[in-house]
C-alpha cells in the first residue's frame, strides 16, 4: 500500500530525523529479506500486513494454508511470505519503499483500496487486464468491488478479496444496567448521543461511546469516525467530499462542520474515551481486545470485521460475543432518507510494476480466489463477500452472527473518493478532527484550516457547496 501522506507543516529537526530513521529501518528490513523478487523465477514473494496484536493470526494462518495448496498444485514452485508487522501508517510507508526498486519489490502485495489510485499514479502497480481476461472467475466479482480496484485510466490494478461495512456495536450488558432497550436502533444523531449520556450517568467506569479520531488513528479516524458522520448529513445521493461533475473536492460545507460538531460533543462532554487514550495509535487494539470483551464500552462505531478478533483460536477468544453485543445501523443526521449510512472499503491483491515474477504471482491470486478459499477467507476475517457465488451460498450467510446485518448494509453504503489526492485529504480530515477533539480548535477554525489545506493538497481543485 502507499505511504500515508502527511501534509507538511514546518518540519523540525526531530521530525526530519524521525522520518529518516523510519525510512532507513524500512529499507534495511526489506534488504534483509533477500535480493529481490527477481532472484528466483520459481519463487513468488507475497507481502502483507501482519496484525500488531500477536494473538491475531487470521491472515498468517490463511496465507500459510494457501501457500501449502499452491506449492502442491505447482510442483517446483515456492511461496515466500513476507509479513510486515506495523501500524497502518508504517505499513504504507514500508510497502512504498519496497515498490520503488526491483531489488526489493515483492511479486504480490496487499493494497488498501483507499490508496490504490495513489500507487497507480506513482507507477508502482501493474495493470492486470491481460490476466483477468483469461480468468473465468473474474465474472463472479461484483461490479462495485471491481470499481474499487480500477485506475482513472480504466485499467484494473488489483483483485479484491472482500469488502466491509460499518455500524454501531453496543454492549447489551451495559445497556441493561443503563435501562436502555436491548433492541436499540437510534433514528438520528441525537438518539446516539442521548444513549451515550444515559450510559455516562448510570453506568460509571464505562466509556459511553467510541468514535475514532485524530492523526494517530489514521484512516480509521477519517473513514470510521468522520466519514460515517459526513455521509449521513445529506440526502445520500451525492458525495459530500468530492464533486464528480466538476472533478473537484468540496470545501465549506455545512455537513463538514456538523460532522466536526458531533466529534467535538463526544469529547467535550466526556462521552468518549479520555483524549490521551483516543489519540493512542494502538487504541483500536485496546477497544477490540479489552474494552469490548470486558464490558467497558457502551457503544462503538466500528466495522464488520471485529469478530475475527474473538473467534476460537484467535488468542482473544470470546465465546459469548454474539450474546453480549448488539448491532444497530448508523442513522443519518436527522433521520432523513435513506435513514442509515455505512462506508465500505476493502483490500486488494496487486502486482507491483517492478515484480520479478508477475505471472506466477497471478497464479497465486487464482489459488487464493477459488470459491472455496474465498469463502474460507471471508468467514475467517469476518469480511463481506465480493464474489456472487459465495454471497449466495447459505454456508457463508449462516456462518457467523452479524454477517447478514453487515451484508445488508451494502445497499446503503458509500465508497471513498479514492483518487490520488485522497490520502492527503484524509490526513487533513484527521487534523481537523484532532483539533476539535483536544479543544485546540473550534469547529469553525478546524473547518477553515481544512479548507485551506484542501486547496494546497489538491492543487486548488476545490469547489464550494
Answer whether residue 214 is part of any domain: yes
Task: Let me know whether 318 and 366 are in one domain.
Answer: no
> 175 and 234, same structural domain?
yes
Specify if 6 maps to a domain.
no
Q: Does any domain span residue 1?
A: no
Q: What pLDDT is attached to residue 64?
A: 97
What stretches in the chain show pLDDT beneath 50? 1-38
| 391 domain-assigned | yes
211 plus 306 within the same structural domain: yes
In this structure, the answer to whether residues 406 and 437 fall within a common structural domain is no
Residue 4 lies in a domain: no
- 354 in the same domain as 451: no
Number of domains comprising the chain:
2
Domain membership flag for residue 97: yes
Q: Are residues 53 and 144 in the same domain?
A: yes
Q: Are residues 198 and 109 in the same domain?
A: no
- Same domain, yes or no: 409 and 425: no
- 360 falls within a domain: yes
Give the CATH number of the domain where residue 340 resides.
Answer: 3.40.190.10
Q: Are 462 and 454 in contact (CB under 8 A)?
A: yes
pLDDT tens digits along 236-261: 889 999 998 999 999 999 999 999 99
pLDDT of residue 39: 60
User: What's the confidence (pLDDT) of residue 15?
Assistant: 37
Say yes or no: 241 and 192 in one domain.
yes
Tell me the C-alpha distance between 370 and 185, whole Å. Answer: 37
Domain identity same for 255 and 393: no
Question: Quick one: pLDDT at residue 100?
Answer: 94
Q: Which residue has the cell 485551506?
A: 452
Where among 395, 415, 435 does a domain terminate? 415
- Residue 304 belongs to domain spanning: 166-344+419-464
Evaluate the CA torsion angle 45, 66, 346, 186 in order and state its sign. negative
Same domain, 423 and 408: no
Examine the fold and report which residue of 375, 394, 415 is the final residue of a domain before the chain moves on: 415
Q: Of the residues 378, 398, 415, which one is the last residue of a structural domain?
A: 415
User: Does residue 115 sit in the same domain as residue 263?
Assistant: no
> Does any domain span residue 333?
yes
Amino acid at each position: 500500500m502507499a505511504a500515508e501522506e502527511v501534509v507538511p507543516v514546518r518540519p523540525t529537526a526531530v521530525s526530519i530525523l524521525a522520518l529518516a530513521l523510519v525510512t532507513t529501518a524500512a529499507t534495511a528490513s526489506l534488504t534483509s529479506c533477500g535480493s529481490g523478487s527477481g532472484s528466483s523465477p520459481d519463487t513468488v514473494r507475497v507481502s502483507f500486513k501482519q496484525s500488531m496484536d500477536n494473538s491475531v493470526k487470521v491472515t498468517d494462518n490463511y496465507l500459510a494454508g494457501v501457500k501449502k495448496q499452491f506449492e502442491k498444485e505447482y510442483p517446483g514452485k515456492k511461496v515466500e511470505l513476507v509479513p510486515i508487522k506495523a501500524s497502518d501508517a508504517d505499513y504504507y510507508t514500508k510497502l512504498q519503499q519496497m515498490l520503488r526498486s526491483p531489488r526489493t519489490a515483492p511479486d504480490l502485495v496487499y493494497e488498501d483500496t483507499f490508496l490504490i489510485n495513489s500507487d497507480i499514479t506513482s507507477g508502482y502497480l501493474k495493470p492486470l487486464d491481460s490476466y483477468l481476461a483469461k480468468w473465468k472467475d473474474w465474472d463472479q466479482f461484483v461490479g462495485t468491488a471491481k470499481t474499487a480496484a480500477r485506475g482513472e485510466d480504466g485499467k484494473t490494478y488489483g483483485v479484491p478479496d472482500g469488502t466491509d461495512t460499518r455500524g454501531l456495536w453496543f454492549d447489551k450488558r451495559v445497556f441493561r444496567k443503563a435501562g436502555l432497550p436491548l433492541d436499540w436502533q437510534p433514528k438520528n444523531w441525537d438518539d446516539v448521543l442521548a444513549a451515550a449520556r444515559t450510559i455516562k450517568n448510570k453506568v460509571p467506569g464505562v466509556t459511553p461511546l467510541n468514535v475514532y479520531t485524530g492523526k494517530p488513528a489514521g484512516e480509521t479516524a477519517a473513514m470510521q469516525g468522520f466519514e460515517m458522520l459526513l455521509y449521513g448529513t445529506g440526502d445520500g445521493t451525492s458525495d459530500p467530499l468530492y464533486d464528480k461533475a466538476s472533478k473537484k473536492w468540496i470545501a465549506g460545507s455545512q455537513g463538514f462542520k456538523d460532522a466536526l460538531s458531533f466529534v467535538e460533543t463526544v469529547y467535550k462532554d466526556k462521552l468518549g474515551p479520555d483524549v490521551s487514550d483516543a489519540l493512542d495509535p494502538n487504541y483500536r487494539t485496546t477497544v477490540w481486545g479489552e474494552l469490548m470483551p470486558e464490558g467497558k464500552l457502551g457503544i462503538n462505531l466500528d466495522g464488520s470485521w471485529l469478530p475475527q478478533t474473538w473467534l476460537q483460536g484467535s488468542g482473544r477468544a470470546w465465546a459469548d460475543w454474539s450474546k453480549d453485543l448488539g448491532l444497530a445501523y448508523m442513522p443519518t443526521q436527522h433521520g432523513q432518507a435513506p435513514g442509515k449510512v455505512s462506508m465500505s472499503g476493502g483490500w486488494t491483491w496487486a502486482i507491483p510494476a517492478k515484480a520479478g515474477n508477475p505471472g506466477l504471482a497471478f497464479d497465486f491470486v487464482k489459488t487464493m480466489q477459488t470459491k472455496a478459499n474465498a469463502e474460507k477467507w471471508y468467514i475467517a476475517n469476518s469480511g463481506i463477500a465480493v464474489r456472487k457465488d459465495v454471497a449466495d451460498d447459505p454456508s457463508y450467510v449462516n456462518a457467523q452472527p452479524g454477517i447478514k446485518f453487515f451484508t445488508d448494509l451494502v445497499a446503503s453504503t458509500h465508497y471513498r473518493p479514492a483518487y490520488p489526492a485522497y490520502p492527503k485529504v484524509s490526513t487533513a480530515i484527521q487534523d481537523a478532527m484532532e483539533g476539535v477533539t483536544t479543544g485546540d480548535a473550534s469547529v469553525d477554525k478546524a473547518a477553515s484550516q481544512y479548507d485551506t489545506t484542501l486547496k494546497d493538497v489538491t492543487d486548488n481543485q476545490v469547489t464550494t457547496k
